[in-house]
Amino acid sequence: MNREIELSSSLISIIIPMKNESATLAQLFSVLTPILADFPINYEIVAVNDGSCDDTLAKLIELSKNEINLKIIDLSRNFGKEAALYAGFSYAQGDCAVAMDADLQDPPELILEMINWWQQGYEIVTGVHQSRESDTYLKRKTANLFYQSINKVSDIKFTPNAGDFRLLDRTAINAFLSLDERVRFNKGLFAWIGFKEKLVYHKRSERTAGTSQWKYLQLFKFAIDGITSFSKAPLEVWFYLGIFTAIAGFLYGVFIFTRTILLGIDTPGYASLLIFVLFFSGLQMVGVGILGKYIGRIFIESKRRPIFIVRKIYDNLNANLHGEGNEF
């Protein structure tokens, strides 16, 4: 059902987390700003500087002299993309907001289509990669494996190849912000809050400049965070594996006892004994590691530290928002 939205009096926030994106800024704003200027809706750009080590902040401040709609959230250090995205939504003032990356791999032209679907009543409009030709073969395969795995073990269903490029209605934004967990997996949180969702498909382009900040080890840890955030299946697997191992050990013990009674005592095999010890010791260590992963999450959440801390806000339109040391 279409909703009555007067676009001329509405505001859309474009949220862009950034870390060491100095090389992409000129291209980003040369493409993004003209597109937004042609939209029939007011806009603000919320750039979150997530502890950049290059001159990203300096360039953003320089750009803000000509881009009056640019708001800069400068975090006190690098808190990670998930926290930076949460910071952007926290300071976004729009009736709806679109999260996107600074590398222009997700087309800004698609934002207008997202707005149209929002007008038609959708509270979340999610951009889905139609193809991942710009990614390496290994990254494509591991991404497919991740989505297949998490959809099998989680009650929440994840849309394969859906990134952070999506529009959220103000109602969905408020629901997302109410989830203040410290170890965040935003793709799962977007799915968890529900709401009426529309998928829009697009081709993922090459980066316009710079290099990705994500390394394979970081992506692996991120995938583990996603699975442990939305499923207790790893714990259940080890519970059932423990039962199976105990039953197998009991049956093997009965076999050895019976054979000894009937055939007498034979010379023990030290090689097979060593293999059994090493194998089951390894299983125990993996099980303890999985248990430790969940306990570690409890430890981090129990401290209730802020998700992010703001060093300073640069905002041409709202001078009252300028401040230091804000935290969430």
Q: How many CA atoms lie within 13 A of 304 on its CB side?
A: 1
What's residue 322's pLDDT?
Answer: 46
- How would DSSP label each residue in 33-47? HHHHHTSSSEEEEEE
pLDDT 10s digits, 44-66: 989 999 888 888 898 898 888 88
CA gap 245, 287 in Å, rounded = 13
In 178-312, where does DSSP find H-type helix? 186-192, 216-230, 233-263, 270-303
Q: Which tops the pLDDT comparison, 125 or 270?
A: 125
**For residue 167, what is the enclosing H or E element?**
strand 162-169
What's residue 167's pLDDT?
Answer: 93
What's residue 260's pLDDT?
Answer: 67
CA gap 190, 194 in Å, rounded = 7
What's residue 321's pLDDT?
Answer: 46
Question: Which of 38-42, 106-110, 324-328 is most confident?
Answer: 106-110
Q: Which tops the pLDDT comparison, 320 or 221?
A: 221
Phi, psi torsion values for 301, nearest 5 degrees: -65, -35
Task: Indicate whether this model's pTM tops 0.75.
Answer: no
pLDDT 10s digits, 282-328: 777 777 777 777 777 777 777 788 888 899 888 876 654 444 545 55
Mean pLDDT score of the chain? 78
In this structure, how many other beta carbons lie within 10 angstroms of the beta carbon of residue 150? 23
